Structure 1
Amino acid sequence: MLPRSPPHLLPWRSLVLLFLALAVSSNGVSATAKAKAKAPAAPPKPAGFGYKLVSLVQRPNGGGLVGCLQVKRRSSTYGPDIPRLRLFVKHETKDRVRVQITDAEKQRWEVPYDLLPREPSPPLGPATAGGAPFTAGEYPGQDLVFTYGRDPFWFAVHRKSTRQTLFNTSRAPLVFKDQYLEVSTRLPGDAALYGLGENTQPGGIKLRPNDPYTLYTTDASAINLNTDLYGSHPVYVDLRNIGGRGVAHAVLLLNSNGMDVFYTGTSLTYKVIGGLLDFYFFAGPTPLAVVDQYTAMIGRPAPMPYWAFGFHQCRWGYHNLSVVEDVVENYRSAQIPLDVIWNDDDHMDARKDFTLSPVNYPRPKLLAFLNKIHARGMKYIVLIDPGINVNSTYGVYQRGMDRDIFIKLDGQPYLAQVWPGPVYFPDFINPNGASWWIDEVRRFHELVPVDGLWIDMNEASNFCTGKCTIPTTHRCPDPTSKEPWLCCLDCKNITNTRWDDPPYKINASGKSARLGYNTIATSAVHYNGILEYNAHSLYGFSQAIATHKGLQSIQGKRPFILTRSTFVGSGAYAAHWTGDNKGTWEDLRYSISTMLNFGIFGMPMELYEWQSVARSARNALGMRYRMLPYLYTLNYQAHLTGAPVARPLFFSFPDFAPCYGGQATYARFHAAVRGGREVTVLSDVALGSYSMHKGLVIEKITVLGLHGAGKDLAIQVDGADDATAVATSSPYFAAADAAQVLRQGEEEDAVEGEKRGVTMEVGGLALPLGKSFTMTWNMHIEA
């Protein structure tokens, strides 16, 4: 949105003391030589020594297995071990098995079932109650089989048909403490893994060994590589090529606490700072089957309205309504299609949610503007942040205080700072908080009939850190400040609780930052005593659910909601964007990986000032608009089956192992015009052997920005004239939006003033996709 706050300066400096001890032995051997023989460093203390299985019963009527685990040996690293654990295993469907491990005696935090509906696990109680002893070494389902060891306890999941192991924890002992959970699985070295987001992965979507993977929702710009970003999705897809056939499965650890995931290439280790171990295994065996099974459990991607696939214009800085009106009219005069116009916080009164600036966006004029664009079929979307300005004259704040819906610290609403200045954060886990938000959405829609909402800053983002108060010595915010993102509250760090200073430090913000750094303090409390420490990464998810309910109850149609922060299941309620980045080719390349990853996660979704740019925009958008029925159909398929709209290449070619890397797996095409007449199209093919083996051919090529007729087509394949490609086909030229098709050798009978195409199609080809080629033809270029 706007520049991020710089890191806070530490109030102390490190003092490094260097002691140099000089010692010379009687035989003249130097101190340097003796130093080389120093004793090795002591190995780190193990976090735990594992558990043993002391009982296991099978519940009747397909209710699964319930067992009791006993700690083998105590360890104090990261806190005391939980002595007794409850094991629960159930084949919930033919292709999904659940393995849950939690405290046997005390209810632990887990993702609320009302946020993410799913089958409940059995209540805590005696492990042997209501079941018969289970002594078999395997617990088979239709597709997957659960196996285990008793002492030490470990478990594994394999395919019933091939006995291929998908997950095996025998590599390392299970560790389960109140604020530290650790479990590892073995992996074959040739397994290709994808997922574990959200982060910006410069190497493509395939997980790379020894890269950091930390999951904790954070307002960190997407230009930060390999660090935790806005969403938390603890799921990965594992794709392996076995005997020339690609076989995929997925693993979800349903846990909202912060975690580090360490991937070495032959193992994967979770280190989680709370909650429980709640694993779901999805059998696949194809990538499309995996996302089908995954989204069947977490919720299908929300169906989007048709207009959402059109062209949107959005930026910060439309300081008054006249600027927005000019933008819309300039698009119209330039004949560039525009379906949706957005406002950032410019429309607000002093950046307060659910308000209008009476000076810059007076309601009568805004309503007249909306009537005009709605009559054209256009839509209007505005931004809403979760922070509610602390202001006794502000109705939204007053109603929130009356209903007691804000997150609290030490019995008082937790004070933070974002764009309007001091704010409180609504608690969307609180039923009263959700209903209050739904009512505020309704009130705002009566004020301004918006067509969708953009919910931002919902990680939640905070310009300050710690416990804060409103200053008495200076204004906050300072209306003259040019850096409103700098903290102006009086704050002090919170380090005296185990929630704000846990024993294990995840790699938050890529630098092991405090969990409460620039967000809500983790010792703050939600509804019913729920700690922010546990629910932090659910904040944007819970806000999206409440926003979806609010818009749907008003419009009775498919809502359009765009959210920055996401969690498992967010795709059922909202779309997502990649957050703050730069307008560079490098960032565009990074965004491709993010977009493809979010398809796996179940979340598939000014040019007019220069005439030449406007023409290019019409050309590019013209192609996009011709594809809208196709994109809309893909979105419908995503809603039915979870199939991503944008898919990695291995979704289409899962048997082709070289495409698993996610890079250098495309045929790239380059077009150039010389002398105003000669057009050359070059192809650069990577991994073409697969295409040759499958006999894939190119039947037509479309080039943007050409205007006129083509002739004198010549083709070279791998540097040699290829008469076969032409002889076995019937090449033709056509403008994509013209009815006339010109066969090779025919002349155009042009009509003066006739509308010409903005794209040129060369069709009727039979070019082998696996080979590089050059195509050349002559034409009159008008643009």
Structure 2
Amino acid sequence: MQLKRAFFQAFAWSSLFDLVSGAPVSSKNSSSSQTSASALPSVADWATWGVAQVPNVLNATAADANSLAKGYRVVKSHYTQNGLEAKLKLINETNIYGYDFDSLTLKVEYQSDNRLNVHIEPTDLSDVYVLPEHLAFKPKAESEFYSFSNADLVFTYEKDPFTFTILRASSGEELFSTAGNPLVFSNQFIQLNTSLPLNHTITGLGESIHGFVQEPGSVKTLFANDAGDPIDGNIYGTHPFYIDQRYDTNTTHGVYWRTSAAQEVIIEEEALTWRALSGVVDLYFFSGPTVKEVISQYVHEIGLPGFQPYWSLGYHQCRWGYSTIQELDEVVKTFKKFEIPLETIWSDIDYMDSYKDFTTDPHRYPAKEFKKFLDTIHDDHQHYVPIVDAAIYVPNPNNASDNYTVFESGNSSETFLRNPDGSLYIGAVWPGYTVFPDFFANSTQEWWTESFAEWYKTIEFDGIWLDMNEVSSFCVGSCGSENYTQNPVHPPFVVGSSPTSYPEGFSKSNKTEYHSIESSISASSASVAKTASSSSTATSTSSATLDSKNTLETGVGNINYPPYAIYNWQGNYDIATHDVSPNATHADGTLEYDVHNLYGYTQTNATYNALLEIQPNKRPFIITRSTFAGSGQWAGHWGGDNNADWQWMYFSIPQALSFGIFGIPFFGVDTCGFNGNSDSELCSRWTQLSSFFPFYRNHNVLGAISQEPYVWSDVTEAAKTSIGIRYSLLPYYYTLLQEAHTTGLPILRALSWQFPEDRSLRAADRQFFVGDALIVTPVLEPLVDTVKGVFPGSGETEVYYDWYTQEAQDFEAGFNETLDAPLGHIPLHVRGGHILPLQEPGYTIHDSRKNPFSLIVALDLDGYASGKLYLDDGESVNITESLYVDFIAEGHSLTSAAYGNFNASQPLANITILGVDSKPSNVTFLGEEIDFSFANNTLLVTDLEDYTTGGAFAEEFVLTW
């Protein structure tokens, strides 16, 4: 949840230069949970004003560090047991964006055959932030001595000026080279340049809403930002890692800059420029040479994804606007009425008492009725997940009834962020003026755990949804320091207005409804245009007087407004706007300036530990908004506050693929869109697309029309169809979850990863693979009943089978096939060579797991297929009983071999074999001849329950035909 860009633009004409302060706004204080929003005072408008900036990438007069800096020279070097160390001396001081460090230390470490580290830091680290190992995993050398002859990567360098190059040992190919470009290393500006091959394919560098490939001209800002899914802007997470896939050599490598600093990356035709506003250079190169190997190598080093519980794969329903427990209960009952599977019901901030964490509204969500509701859904094997925000309400000291023990206990144990003078940093979020937990403080984990544990006694939640943890604040600076006696106050904007936007194509597909609201839509559009126009003028006026080109205190160390202005996607580009300010101070003295990108990461880790304490040996289920490299160890992620329109439906695919790269494979978006109103066509298509994402949730904004799948009959049927497919595939998805947890491989996979030699697939991001076996081709535009898709290698090395008809498709490699896709149908194909374990779907995951298994065997062109299955109890952290099953089909025979001690007692019901050349004369199972049917090259064997009464995979079996 956040304000729209237009809101911030409207106030860009005013500014503040450091901490915001001023006279309190006079108003009547009230802390009652029943106080209406209109009766509350509001956070003052001026508290939202930041300094209007001109980002350097948009400033034609900004100094070009690459042309002005002189770089460094090597003055001393020596080889080590696993690399090289050297001293670098500044050639000539330029102080372009901060003061240059005179002396640097270079350390090169060959850490393994496929990983190399280049570390550069100032010799004097007195005022330099170095990301400690206890916060974020730091890859280490695998041995004290390294045999350089085994290295896939080679480091070379020039002495004067110092530049370096990373080569692939087997071919001599340059993978990363700063040749011809000076190293710039200042206290508030570090810059590296590397050359890139023409027509390069760069992916990664997030989080942003963008196509899968980072094309020339892309500016990637790596700064955690509460902005609602702007296209090409920086949003919630920070992932300083990219993959360079090269088709000329058919190799791939990856580069990771391990830093929590604010960063900016510029992609050009033949170069990549990488900048950071603090910290050190700590680069890790991964040699691959395939994309999947690069991802696995990287994710192993930042932390393998946590193993999600089995129930997380079910359908989840949420919205901002389930205002009472009765309404929440009615939603659950209506899903059941329409027989739409519902695994988990979620709560946005509606359930809270005056929007305060760890509370429930005593009137709208009374404890007794809340408990009864939770007992009911738990008895039905369903789940409940509430939201928790990062900010903690500050009670009004002038109002004796405004007590809040969560704040009092946290404040007494000094767990909150501070101002530089040691006072509490007080910003503003949903409940009013708030403080922010400092997860660097020694006492915070204990306080955070106790807060969850006490709350759990009242609300037995099954997982936690972390929001607003970039960390977001609605005002600039410690605006509540002199104003918190006004609490509770209303956010400085209207909450809950009814959107009038509808998806593209709505006016044609819903003509009658469109005409009835046309005047409202037109008025809204005119208002937005007027606001944008006035804000644009205001910004222009202010720029001449408010140091918009950021020359304040150049080189001296301006923390809130550093001399180099990054392209931060807020209305005025100020990094303090809608965020806790950079000069907020942590318990160990660290400034938020250096670790802002870690806030969500540290909060997620603390929440994981808290949930483990509450329910030991149950896998914590967490979905978090702000992420960093390694966040996937503890949580999944949703795509943030997207829009109910077709282009955001499309963008969900490259976003999902990117988070697979980042080691967060458990990903999904707000199905049908968050902001604005959805409609039946968009929601039908999106419901079916999301059914193939690992995390599958519908969620929308307060004030928008309802969009639960039962609202429209078309969506109801589409949901039943695609959820039925998803639930039948649960054993396959769970196996992929386990594979991601142990190898780092993503669940959703780009076509270019599956066929890395096919350059035509480099930017293919409108289709995707689920694992290696399924390819999904969604409809991503309105008013059509067909969709185009490519099927690599088809007819040459590959064969694809239609999921619904089970027939081999006569596709042509390299050709854009037109597929029938009437509303309610999403094309799905099985790739030959793979075996899919299935289970008969039930209403819940619990019900589904009790049902019989089946297999789909999709033979390749040589009559071969393989697959695997992993099973356990679905929730234990320390897994003591598990089952692994391998399937191989070749030579007219299918073999299943299992090992492990988990008891999967459900029988095997049937086996379907696709691509059988001709009708067999007989079929045997466990040596006995059995009945079968055969049509359209598909062999179907049913009624196997009597042969597998001890469990489908209790013993090895062989099926022959």
1:9 aligned partner:
11
Q: 2:93 aligns with which of 62, 71, 74?
A: 74
TM-superposed deviation, 1:106 = 1.7
What amino acid maps onto 1:597 in structure 2?
S
Q: What is the alpha-carbon distance in structure 2 between the residues aligned to residue 151 and residue 186 of structure 1?
A: 19
1:566 aligned partner:
627
Does the Cα contact within 8 Å between 2:425 and 2:481 map onto a contact in 1?
no
1:641 aligned partner:
743
1:602 maps to 2:697:
no
Give runs of aligned pairs for residues 324-343 of structure 1, distance below 5 A. 324-343=328-347
TM-score normalised according to structure 2 size: 0.64
Q: What is the alpha-carbon distance in structure 2 between the residues aligned to residue 739 and residue 471 of structure 1?
A: 64
Residue 467 of structure 1 aligns to a residue whose secondary structure is coil
TM-superposed deviation, 1:119 = 4.8
Give the aligned length.
663
Does the Cα contact within 8 Å between 2:433 and 2:484 map onto a contact in 1?
no
Does the Cα contact within 8 Å between 2:801 and 2:809 map onto a contact in 1?
no
Q: 2:163 aligns with which of 150, 154, 157?
A: 154
Cα distance change on mapping 1:146 and 1:739 into 2, 3 Å: closer
Q: What is the alpha-carbon distance in structure 2 between the residues aligned to residue 451 and residue 637 of structure 1?
A: 24
Give runs of aligned pairs for residues 306-705 of structure 1, distance below 5 A. 306-391=310-395, 393-409=403-419, 410-469=421-480, 475=486, 477-478=488-489, 483-484=494-495, 498-509=558-569, 513-556=573-616, 557-605=618-666, 606-663=708-765, 684-686=788-790, 690-694=793-797, 696-702=798-804
Residue 234 of structure 1 aligns to a residue whose secondary structure is strand
Q: 2:184 aligns with which of 163, 175, 183?
A: 175
Does the Cα contact within 8 Å between 1:262 and 1:270 map onto a contact in 2?
yes
Residue 465 of structure 1 aligns to a residue whose secondary structure is coil
2:679 aligned partner:
none
TM-superposed deviation, 1:139 = 6.7
2:129 aligned partner:
109
**After superposition, what is the alpha-carbon deviation per residue over 1:312-339, rounded to whole angstroms, capped at 9, x for unaligned?**
0011111110001101111111111111
2:272 aligned partner:
268
TM-score normalised according to structure 1 size: 0.78
Give structure 1 stretches of 5+ with no counterpart: 14-39, 122-130, 133-137, 487-491, 672-679, 705-709, 720-735, 741-760, 767-774, 776-783
1:238 maps to 2:244:
yes
**After superposition, what is the alpha-carbon deviation per residue over 1:392-419, rounded to whole angstroms, capped at 9, x for unaligned?**
6100000011001111112111111000
What amino acid maps onto 2:637 in structure 1?
H
TM-superposed deviation, 1:524 = 1.3
Cα distance change on mapping 1:139 and 1:499 into 2, 3 Å: farther
Does the Cα contact within 8 Å between 1:175 and 1:181 map onto a contact in 2?
yes
**After superposition, what is the alpha-carbon deviation per residue over 1:647-674, rounded to whole angstroms, capped at 9, x for unaligned?**
1111111111111122477898799xxx
TM-superposed deviation, 1:469 = 3.1
**After superposition, what is the alpha-carbon deviation per residue over 1:614-638, rounded to whole angstroms, capped at 9, x for unaligned?**
3332122111111111111111100
Cα distance change on mapping 1:684 and 1:535 into 2, 3 Å: closer
What amino acid maps onto 2:761 in structure 1?
C
TM-superposed deviation, 1:287 = 0.9
TM-superposed deviation, 1:585 = 1.8
Q: What is the alpha-carbon distance in structure 1 between the residues aligned to residue 277 and residue 493 of structure 2?
A: 38
Cα distance change on mapping 1:541 and 1:44 into 2, 3 Å: closer
The alignment-based identity, stated in percent, is 33
1:779 aligned partner:
none
> Which range moves more in the overlay, 1-10 or 271-280?
1-10
Q: What is the alpha-carbon distance in structure 2 between the residues aligned to residue 461 and residue 174 of structure 1?
A: 34
Q: 1:207 aligns with which of 186, 194, 214?
A: 214
Does the Cα contact within 8 Å between 2:654 and 2:765 map onto a contact in 1?
no
TM-superposed deviation, 1:554 = 1.5
> Which range moves more in the overlay, 514-523 or 176-185?
514-523
Does the Cα contact within 8 Å between 2:424 and 2:481 map onto a contact in 1?
no
TM-superposed deviation, 1:114 = 1.1
TM-superposed deviation, 1:83 = 0.4
1:144 aligned partner:
153
What amino acid maps onto 2:739 in structure 1?
Q
Cα distance change on mapping 1:765 and 1:199 into 2, 3 Å: farther
**After superposition, what is the alpha-carbon deviation per residue over 1:121-166, rounded to whole angstroms, capped at 9, x for unaligned?**
9xxxxxxxxx99xxxxx97652211111111111111111111111
What amino acid maps onto 2:236 in structure 1?
Y
**After superposition, what is the alpha-carbon deviation per residue over 1:367-393, rounded to whole angstroms, capped at 9, x for unaligned?**
111111111111110000010000161
Q: 2:234 aligns with which of 228, 231, 248?
A: 228
Residue 479 of structure 2 aligns to a residue whose secondary structure is strand
Q: What is the alpha-carbon distance in structure 1 between the residues aligned to residue 628 and residue 570 of structure 2?
A: 19
Q: What is the alpha-carbon distance in structure 1 between the residues aligned to residue 752 and residue 735 of structure 2?
A: 21
What amino acid maps onto 1:440 in structure 2?
S
TM-superposed deviation, 1:111 = 2.3
TM-superposed deviation, 1:579 = 0.2
TM-superposed deviation, 1:277 = 0.6
1:56 aligned partner:
77
What amino acid maps onto 2:138 in structure 1?
R
Does the Cα contact within 8 Å between 1:58 and 1:65 map onto a contact in 2?
yes
Residue 239 of structure 1 aligns to a residue whose secondary structure is strand
Does the Cα contact within 8 Å between 1:100 and 1:278 map onto a contact in 2?
yes
1:293 maps to 2:297:
yes
TM-superposed deviation, 1:43 = 8.4
> Which range moves more in the overlay, 157-166 or 510-519?
510-519
What amino acid maps onto 1:503 in structure 2?
P
Residue 229 of structure 1 aligns to a residue whose secondary structure is strand
Q: What is the alpha-carbon distance in structure 2 between the residues aligned to residue 343 and residue 219 of structure 1?
A: 20
**After superposition, what is the alpha-carbon deviation per residue over 1:234-292, rounded to whole angstroms, capped at 9, x for unaligned?**
1000000135xx21110001111111111102110112111011000001011111111
Cα distance change on mapping 1:514 and 1:141 into 2, 3 Å: farther
Cα distance change on mapping 1:400 and 1:485 into 2, 3 Å: farther
TM-superposed deviation, 1:183 = 0.7
Residue 651 of structure 1 aligns to a residue whose secondary structure is helix
**After superposition, what is the alpha-carbon deviation per residue over 1:168-193, rounded to whole angstroms, capped at 9, x for unaligned?**
11130001010010110111113211
If you compute each CA radius of gyration, which structure gives the higher value, 1 or 2? 1
Cα distance change on mapping 1:83 and 1:670 into 2, 3 Å: closer
Q: What is the alpha-carbon distance in structure 1 between the residues aligned to residue 756 and residue 203 of structure 2?
A: 14
Q: What is the alpha-carbon distance in structure 1 between the residues aligned to residue 713 and residue 785 of structure 2?
A: 26
**After superposition, what is the alpha-carbon deviation per residue over 1:462-482, rounded to whole angstroms, capped at 9, x for unaligned?**
111123136669955556987
Q: What is the alpha-carbon distance in structure 1 between the residues aligned to residue 853 and residue 239 of structure 2?
A: 48
Cα distance change on mapping 1:511 and 1:284 into 2, 3 Å: farther
For CA contacts below 8 A with separation 6 or more, give which structure has more relative contact order.
2
Cα distance change on mapping 1:765 and 1:664 into 2, 3 Å: farther
Cα distance change on mapping 1:345 and 1:300 into 2, 3 Å: same
What amino acid maps onto 1:52 in structure 2?
R
Does the Cα contact within 8 Å between 1:116 and 1:569 map onto a contact in 2?
yes
Does the Cα contact within 8 Å between 1:143 and 1:159 map onto a contact in 2?
yes
Q: 2:114 aligns with which of 95, 109, 133?
A: 95
Does the Cα contact within 8 Å between 1:506 and 1:512 map onto a contact in 2?
no
Does the Cα contact within 8 Å between 1:700 and 1:763 map onto a contact in 2?
no
Cα distance change on mapping 1:473 and 1:167 into 2, 3 Å: closer
Does the Cα contact within 8 Å between 1:218 and 1:230 map onto a contact in 2?
yes
Q: What is the alpha-carbon distance in structure 1 between the residues aligned to residue 649 and residue 621 of structure 2?
A: 24
**After superposition, what is the alpha-carbon deviation per residue over 1:722-781, rounded to whole angstroms, capped at 9, x for unaligned?**
xxxxxxxxxxxxxx99999xxxxxxxxxxxxxxxxxxxx997699xxxxxxxx9xxxxxx
What amino acid maps onto 1:693 in structure 2?
E
